[in-house]
Structure 1
Amino acid sequence: MLYAKINASGHVIDVAPYQDDEYNQLVSPHDPFVADILAAKLDQESSQELLTSSDQDMMRVLEDLIDLLTEKRLIQFTELPMAAQKKLLSRKFVRGIHSGNNETLIGEIRDDDALI
Structure 2
Amino acid sequence: MYVKRDASGGIEMVSREARADCSEWLDADSPELVAFLGGEAAEPAALQASDLELVRVLEDLVEVLTDKGVIRFTDLPDAAQKKLLGRKDLRASAQRLSLVEDDEGLL
Tell me the TM-score normalized by structure 1. Answer: 0.46
Bigger radius of gyration among the two? 2
Tell me the TM-score normalized by structure 2. Answer: 0.49
